[in-house]
C-alpha cells in the first residue's frame, strides 16, 4: 500500500515538474520610446510643485518635487507617433549629486499597447549616460510585468531646459 502511494506521489511530482518545464518562458518585450519634457513656456509638461526652504541654497536642488505628464512618441524628432503619456512625480533626492527618485506610469493610448500601462520606480542619476530603473508592474497586457528601463538623454536644450529622454524598456509579462 505504502509503495503504491509513494509510486503515485512520484508520478504526480514528475508530471508537475514536466508541466512546469514545458511551460513557455515568459515573453520579453523591448519597447523603445521617447519622452518629451517641456519645462519652458506656458504649457510645460513638467512643473515644480514643492521645495524645501533650503532647496534654493542647494546645488543639487535637494528637496524639490516635480509632477510630469510628458508625451511619449516613437521617435526623438517630429516623425515620431504619439503612443501615450509618462505621468508621475520625481524629486531631487540627493544632497551630493543631482539624482532623482522617479515614479512614473507609462499610459498607452495608441498603438500595440493601447489601454495598458507600465509602472517605473527608481533612482535616476541624471549625470550618467545610461540610467537603469526597475519596471515594477503593469496593467492590461503588462499584468505581472517585471523588468527594467534604460534611460538616456537624447536631447537637452540648455537655454530652455526642455529635454527628450530615450527609454529602452525590457519587460517580461
Ligand atoms: C485606444 O483604445 C481606446 C479604447 O479601446 C479606443 O477608444 C481608441 O480608439 C484607441 N486608440 C487608438 C489610437 O487606437
The pLDDT tens digits along the chain (173 residues) read: 555 544 544 444 544 444 455 565 568 999 999 999 999 999 999 999 999 999 999 999 999 999 999 999 999 999 999 999 999 999 999 999 999 999 999 999 999 999 999 999 999 999 999 999 999 999 999 999 999 999 999 999 999 999 999 999 999 99
Prediction pTM value:
0.84
What's the half-sphere exposure (Cβ side, CA atoms, 13 Å) at 26? Answer: 13
Question: Quick check: CB of 18 below 6 Å from ligand 1?
Answer: no
Residue 104 · residue 120 · CB < 8 Å: yes
What residue ranges do the domains of the chain occupy? 28-172
CATH class in words for 28-172:
mainly beta
Using alpha carbons, select from 37, 34, 141 the residue that is nearest to residue 81: 34
Ligand 1 atom nearest to 109, measured from its CA: 1
Q: From the CB of 82, is ligand 1 less than 6 Å away?
A: no
Sign, CA torsion 48/51/55/61:
negative
Amino acid at each position: 500500500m505504502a509503495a503504491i502511494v509513494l509510486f503515485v506521489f512520484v508520478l504526480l511530482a514528475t508530471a508537475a515538474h514536466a508541466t512546469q518545464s514545458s511551460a513557455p518562458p515568459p515573453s520579453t518585450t523591448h519597447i523603445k520610446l521617447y519622452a518629451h519634457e517641456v519645462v519652458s513656456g506656458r504649457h510645460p509638461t513638467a512643473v515644480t510643485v514643492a521645495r524645501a526652504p533650503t532647496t534654493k541654497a542647494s546645488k543639487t536642488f535637494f528637496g524639490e518635487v516635480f509632477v510630469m505628464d510628458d508625451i511619449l512618441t516613437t521617435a526623438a524628432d517630429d516623425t515620431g507617433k504619439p503612443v501615450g503619456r509618462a505621468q508621475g512625480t520625481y524629486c531631487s533626492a540627493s544632497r551630493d549629486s543631482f539624482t532623482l527618485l522617479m515614479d512614473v506610469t507609462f499610459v498607452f493610448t495608441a498603438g500595440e499597447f493601447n489601454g495598458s500601462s507600465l509602472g517605473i520606480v527608481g533612482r535616476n542619476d541624471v549625470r550618467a549616460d545610461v540610467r537603469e530603473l526597475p519596471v515594477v508592474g503593469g496593467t492590461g497586457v503588462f499584468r505581472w510585468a517585471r523588468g527594467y528601463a534604460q534611460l538616456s538623454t537624447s536631447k537637452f536644450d540648455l537655454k530652455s531646459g526642455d529635454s527628450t529622454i530615450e527609454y529602452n524598456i525590457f519587460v517580461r509579462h
